[in-house]
Amino acid sequence: MLDDMDKLVSLCKRRGFIFPSSEIYGGLNGFWDYGPLGVELKRNIKDAWWRDNVRMRDDMVGLDCSIIMNPRVWEASGHVGGFSDPMVDCRASKERYRADQIFVFAYVYPAVNHKGEPTEAWLAGLGGTPEEAAEHVEKRAAKLAKRFGQPVGAPSIIPYLKLEPNDRDKVVGPATEDRGTLTEPRAFNLMFKTFVGALESESNVAYLRPETAQGIFANFKNVVDTGRVKLPFGIAQVGKSFRNEINPRNFTFRSREFEQMEIEFFCRPDQAQEWYDYWRKARFQWYVDLGLKSDRLRLRDHDPDELAFYSTATADIEYAFPFGVSELEGIAHRGDYDLTQHMKFSGKDLTYFDEERKERFTPHVVEPSAGADRATLAFLCEAYAEDEVGGESRTVMRFHPRLAPVKAAVFPLVKRDGMPETAEAIYRDLKRRHNVFYDEKGAIGRRYRRQDEAGTPFCLTVDSQTALDGTVTIRDRDSCRQWRIPKADACQALDNLLDGLPIPGDA
RNA sequence: GCGGGUGUAACUCAAUGGUAGAGUACCUGCCUUCCAAGCAGGCUACGUGGGUUCGAUUCCCAUCACCCGCUCCA
């Protein structure tokens, strides 16, 4: 079990799974590159997802949308405006608040200072409404009343965003006694901005997509009109997304450029809950089937107060990483929120006509949204193991065979007696179907261990007996167990092993 | 974004105000018939930019990156 990310980061670097982006220039915070083994692993994960969720199903189609879209898409989705809230920092308490959730209560007390001016106290309170904010403020105001007398009249209530800049210094933050510790509201827009065309003007601003989902909604009508699809059905997309995270952390877990595997599953409103339950279970099981078997994998339903305002139910598939329990995938029941928003902003009709029921309605959506990089990281963490073979410790990556970057390695036991030639012929044969590796250098034990660290599930070795009876040994990564198979059956044996079918010639 | 820590070879780590050493790994050769064996040889490093100094990997400043804690995570 991996208990320390440093070990994994080190192995990823050493074996070529993951490197810091543009490392020779010192890297870039929040960006990572996948090396030769990493790209195979991540690709296998994405391929498994696509195969299991799109190809193998009759009710799913795929899509590949552009990363830069008409900026109006992000107005409809709420990414421009709604979620780019200005934030306010408190210099004293180091707290950060949403500016729209701070209300300032300006009290005036009868006591006067040496200039004869009345004593004022501008107290900041937190809450979605002035009433909520007042609760906290009133206690503090009452304390002040003991010193300065009962306030004159009711306090004036000013939303922090409406505050005159000069008045900001008067405000006492929610967690301090001192005035003037709050900063001006600052925008934290998490979308990467760019310009379409050579001219950098406000009129041609565009954004790198912060999620793949909106491209699916924007194409809903196209798919319905041309795809010969009938409700219920889903649209799937795998692709890069970008979020200018304030604080990237935890290796590749929170990156500024990342890859998503998203499904928007459209259905009749009265079936949405059923489909939500279905996807919640199905998506969890997918991770289990691919090897996240330990109790580090969890399914957690959101509490009602955690839900986005448009969602009636959301569940997170979480994994207990060494740095904490974190989300791999969210399954959200989003109702008709997204299509309704896009109808409002685009003016286009995105309702669906059910031919059998002769009904027109706006489909409801269940959204299983997974992070490919997060899944990759979870599979890496889960696979990492240290055990002992013949009294020697080894590091082994126990990837599910479907996900392993290299499926098999082929070795000659020693570099003579025609063994390399025989081994290479087997290698050439296997390579047509699988990602396999050939190695004739060094001691055989060393070659096995090298493959263990790469997570290669099987090793085929040509020895002196091969020339006599045409068999080779096959070694299992996890158990180090070996048995012999005819070399002519090598390809079929590997196919079976990778598919979990019975092993030919097993003894 | 705040606070703390760390940056030396591919990896893990030393030492040092006078330009650096080990283990592992990697490469070449010999040997070797199944789990990191042995012998010989070889390659590779002071994150970046300033400053102090005759001279800086070492001291100072800044910056970048990573780690830990807070914060954030639509």
Structure tokens at A417: 């007696």
Res A290: pLDDT: 94
Helices (H), A401-506: 419-431, 444-454, 464-469, 490-499
Res A507: pLDDT: 47
A151 touches strand B (CB under 7 A): no
A446-477 pLDDT per residue, tens:
899 999 999 999 999 999 899 899 999 999 99
A52 touches strand B (CB under 7 A): no
A322-362 pLDDT per residue, tens:
888 899 999 999 999 999 999 999 999 999 999 889 999 99
CB A95 within 8 A of CB A175: yes
| Element of type H or E holding A273 | helix A272-289
CB A490 within 8 A of CB A473: no
Res A166: pLDDT: 67
- Model confidence at A495, pLDDT cuts 50, 70, 90, reads very high
Structure tokens at A310: 């448009």
Q: Could you identify the residue whose CA is nearest to the C1' atom of nucleotide B35?
A: A445
Res A477: pLDDT: 93
Structure tokens at A144: 């002040």
A26-41 pLDDT per residue, tens:
889 999 999 999 999 9
A352-354/A324-335 β-pairing:
unpaired
Q: Could you identify the residue whose CA is nearest to the C1' atom of nucleotide B24?
A: A14
Percent of chain A, pLDDT > 90? 54
Q: Could you identify the residue whose CA is nearest to the C1' atom of nucleotide B3?
A: A94
Q: Tell whether the torsion through CA atoms of A443, A448, A449 and A450 is positive or negative.
A: positive
In this model, does residue A265 exceed pLDDT 50? yes
How many Å separate Cα A429 from the centre of its chain?
37
CB A384 within 8 A of CB A453: no
Q: Which of residues 18-37 of A touch strand B (CB under 7 A)?
A: 20, 26-30
Higher pLDDT, A154 or A223: A223
Mean pLDDT of A277-305: 91
C-alpha to C-alpha distance for A503 and A479, rounded to whole angstroms: 15
Give how far Cα A122 sits from Cα of A100, A107, A151, A155, A183, Å.
17, 6, 12, 9, 15
Q: Distance (Å) from CA A66 to C1' B38? A: 59
Q: Distance (Å) from CA A370 to C1' B73? A: 15
Res A37: pLDDT: 93
- Model confidence at A285, pLDDT cuts 50, 70, 90, reads very high
Res A330: pLDDT: 94
A152 touches strand B (CB under 7 A): no
In this model, does residue A414 exceed pLDDT 80? yes
* Minimum-distance nucleotide, CA of A243 to C1': B73
Q: Which of residues 232-251 of A touch strand B (CB under 7 A)?
A: 243, 245-251
Structure tokens at A507: 């003894």
CB A290 within 8 A of CB A269: no
Higher pLDDT, A23 or A504: A23
Q: Distance (Å) from CA A422 to C1' B39? A: 29
CB A90 within 8 A of CB A181: yes
> Residue written as tokens 């240290």?
A386
Best CA proximity match to A461, nearest among A359, A452, A476: A476
Q: Distance (Å) from CA A40 to C1' B12? A: 27
Spell out the domain ranges in chain A. 5-77+211-380, 87-188, 406-498
Q: Which of residues 430-459 of A touch strand B (CB under 7 A)?
A: 441-446, 448-450, 452-453
b vs e for A43-71, b when ≥16 Cβ sit within 10 Å of the residue's Cβ? bbbbebbbebbbeeeeebeebebeeebeb
Res A393: pLDDT: 81
CB A397 within 8 A of CB A452: yes
- Model confidence at A494, pLDDT cuts 50, 70, 90, reads very high
ipTM reported for the complex, 2 dp? 0.90
* Minimum-distance nucleotide, CA of A27 to C1': B65
> Residue written as tokens 């421009």?
A80
**Protein-proximal nucleotides of chain B (any atom < 7 Å from a CB):** 1-2, 7, 10-12, 25-28, 31-37, 47-48, 64-74
C-alpha to C-alpha distance for A30 and A192, rounded to whole angstroms: 13
Judged by phi (left if over 0) then psi (alpha if -120 to 50, else beta), residue A217 lies in alpha
CB atoms closer than 10 angstroms to residue A506: 13
Mean pLDDT of A231-260: 92
Higher pLDDT, A355 or A69: A69
- Model confidence at A443, pLDDT cuts 50, 70, 90, reads confident
In this model, does residue A94 exceed pLDDT 60? no
In this model, does residue A158 exceed pLDDT 90? no
C-alpha to C-alpha distance for A18 and A64, rounded to whole angstroms: 25
DSSP state of A21: T
In this model, does residue A248 exceed pLDDT 60? yes
Fold of A5-77+211-380: BirA Bifunctional Protein; domain 2 (3.30.930)
Q: Which of residues 336-395 of A touch strand B (CB under 7 A)?
A: 389-390, 392, 394-395
A415-432 pLDDT per residue, tens:
888 888 999 999 999 999
Helices (H), A16-58: 36-50
The second-level CATH assignment, the architecture, of A406-498 is 3-Layer(aba) Sandwich (3.40)
Percent of chain A, pLDDT > 70? 95
C-alpha to C-alpha distance for A507 and A492, rounded to whole angstroms: 17
A256 touches strand B (CB under 7 A): no
Q: What backbone torsions phi and psi does residue A486 show, to the nearest 5 degrees?
A: -60, 140
In this model, does residue A400 exceed pLDDT 90? yes
